[in-house]
């Protein structure tokens, strides 16, 4: 298993290492991030807040990227998703991971201190170079956009 460097910024995570992000199951892609807040935080419908995780992760390797993604249960059942869709954490970043949380539901939701609020996934990065052309070779998809495959 590859390693990335982590700096613990919140004493509660130092005091209880079981609160650190881990993979809950062997096949899981993401590690849960926690809300390192000191008191409950109520997010009103439509509001977006930035929640600290108490953790800085330095990937360092430019062939990897960290992604902050919503937790599917919170998104589906509670309406909490990421305010920026997906958080992209580039390899050289060394600051605290923060989660932009958007309450898209019709009712207020309260995050409790140390609740699991998002997940962190590390993925490979492929750098490409653009080859500028006047025309593309024909493909089966062509320029068909949303819904062009015939599925609704």
Query: Hey, what CATH topology would domain 5-124 get?
Result: Deoxyuridine 5'-Triphosphate Nucleotidohydrolase; Chain A (2.70.40)
Q: Is 116 part of any known ligand binding site?
A: no
Strand partners, 33: 118
Q: Is 89 part of any known ligand binding site?
A: yes
- CA 83 to CA 99: how far, in whole Å? 8
Residue 152's pLDDT is 56
Tell me the pLDDT tens digit for each residue of 43-53. 999 999 999 99
Nearest to 32 by CA among 96, 102, 116: 116
Q: Which residue ranges of the chain lie beneath pLDDT 50?
A: none
- CA 99 to CA 133: how far, in whole Å? 39
Q: Is 32 part of any known ligand binding site?
A: no
Q: Is 84 part of any known ligand binding site?
A: yes
For 58-125, give the DSSP string: E---TTEEEEEEE-HHIIIII-EEETTSSEEE-TT--SEEEEEEEE-SSS-EEEPTT-EEEEEEEEE-
3-class DSSP state for residue 18? helix
Contact 1, 52 (CB under 8 A): no
Q: Is 90 part of any known ligand binding site?
A: yes
Identify the H or E element spanning 14: helix 11-15
Residue 151's pLDDT is 60
């Amino acid at each position: 298993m590859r390693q990335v460097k982590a700096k613990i910024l919140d004493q509660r995570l130092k005091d209880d290492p079981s609160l650190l992000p881990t993979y809950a199951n062997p096949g899981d892609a993401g590690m849960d991030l926690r809300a390192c807040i000191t008191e409950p935080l109520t997010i009103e419908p439509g509001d977006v807040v930035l929640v600290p995780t108490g953790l800085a992760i330095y990937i360092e390797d430019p062939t990897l990227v960290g992604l902050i993604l919503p937790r599917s249960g919170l998104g589906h059942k509670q309406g909490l998703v990421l305010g920026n869709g997906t958080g992209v954490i580039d390899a050289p970043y060394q600051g605290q991971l923060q989660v932009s949380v958007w309450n898209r539901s019709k009712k207020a939701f309260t995050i409790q201190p140390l609740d699991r609020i998002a997940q962190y996934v590390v993925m490979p990065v492929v750098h490409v170079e653009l080859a500028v052309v006047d025309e593309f070779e024909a493909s089966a998809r062509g320029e068909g956009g949303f819904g062009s495959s015939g599925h609704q």
